[in-house]
Structure 1
Amino acid sequence: MKVIILLMLAMMCSACAKDHNIPSASLSYASVVRNTSKITYGISFGSDTNILDLYGQGMREGASSTIFNCALGADQDFSKGHSIQLTAIGAIDVDESNRAAGRFNYVSNVFLYETNDRGSLARNLSIKELNSLLSDKKNIPCKVVITAYGYKPYYSNTLNIPTADLLREINKP
């Protein structure tokens, strides 16, 4: 009987995530550059919301993860628990070099890689694979995804990165 009660309590609490009631941030694309490591690409963007202080507790406080995620292939399911197979993903930092008034400016140094079905293994995509994958696309959809304990995931509005800009950086000598 105790096991049944504990199981029921656990099931009830798992559906208790609070809604954060924060409107989705509108993001604006600024630029993309290949980093000197040649493994990551710096994507700069602006936001009308301070996404690194989303819960008003201080920079990076209150959130368990704050990521920038882009769908390189047809899979555009950004939902929590789903791993996009062909993705550009990275942490988000304040862009100190870009301080436009009235906007919050960020940079994410993303890895371009392929994951397996469960997202537990990843491998970097080659230049040849990236050219083949992206050659027919005009834009790459990206979102900021923030999770916090006790809250439903937060998703920004979609930011579309011009594929030509990313391909230019991918194909730099």
Structure 2
Amino acid sequence: MKTLLTVLAAVLCISCTKHPVLPSTDIRFVSISDVGGSALFEVRFSSKTDLLSFFKDNTGEGQLGEALICSLDKTPDFVKWQDVVRSVQGEITEVDNAGTVGHVYSASMFAMQATDGGVSSSFVSVEELLVILKERDSIFCKVFTSAYSYGPYYSNVMSIPVSDFILVVKQKRGL
């Protein structure tokens, strides 16, 4: 009985612990360009936050990876990655951290569409992407990262002007 009460008390104490509140992170669009000879686009953006060590800096815990996710859906703001059916996404790498803007990152992005309720996905062709982009003024992106104990984390929203994106898509098509 003593052991049961001790275990129960420990479980109750653990369930009451709170994760630290993680700071919000702003990201700012820098540029978009074609990655020649492939279906990829390079998106550069900046942040005053070191996104590659976000969890280590704020919780002491390691991260599981970082990605930039841009929604192509009609409702562009999303709470979690699984909410996005059509997206442009890619892993991020740091390309500069010496400037006044803080850290500059690059993401080699590709267009995807979730099918079967998110069970599988397929690539969106350049032609389909152009049609989707022409229906919008901007596309909205967030940086995604996660850690085992904290789950997913999303940055604040960054806007990419569709006119910049369409210009790069047309270059890719040779127009």
TM-score relative to the length of structure 2 = 0.78
Alignment correspondent of 2:50: 50
Give the alignment of 1:10-21 within 5 angstroms.
19-21=19-21
Q: Choose between structure 1 and 2: higher strand proportion.
A: 2
Distance of 1:78 and 1:67 partners within structure 2: 15
Q: Secondary structure at the match of 2:56?
A: coil
Q: Give the Å deviation of 1:39.
A: 0.9
Unaligned runs of 5+ in 1: 1-11
Q: Compare CA radii of gyration and give the structure with the larger one.
A: 2
Unaligned runs of 5+ in 2: 1-11
Q: Secondary structure at the match of 2:21?
A: coil
Q: Give the Å deviation of 1:26.
A: 0.8
Q: Percent identity?
A: 25
Count of residues in correspondence between the two structures: 155
- State yes or no: 1:77 paired with 2:91: no
1:78–1:84 Cα contact (<8 Å) kept: no
Q: Secondary structure at the match of 1:29?
A: strand
Alignment correspondent of 2:166: 167
TM-score relative to the length of structure 1 = 0.79
Opposite residue 79 of structure 1, the aligned amino acid is K
Give CA deviations for 1:92-133 in whole Å, capped at 9, x if unaligned.
10024x742351110111111211144332222122211211
Give the alignment of 1:17-166 within 5 angstroms.
19-56=19-56, 62-75=62-75, 76-79=77-80, 82-96=82-96, 99-166=98-165
Q: Choose between structure 1 and 2: higher helix proportion.
A: 2
2:72–2:88 Cα contact (<8 Å) kept: yes
User: RMSD across aligned C-alpha pairs, in angstroms?
Assistant: 2.4
Opposite residue 106 of structure 1, the aligned amino acid is Y
2:47–2:101 Cα contact (<8 Å) kept: no
2:140–2:158 Cα contact (<8 Å) kept: yes
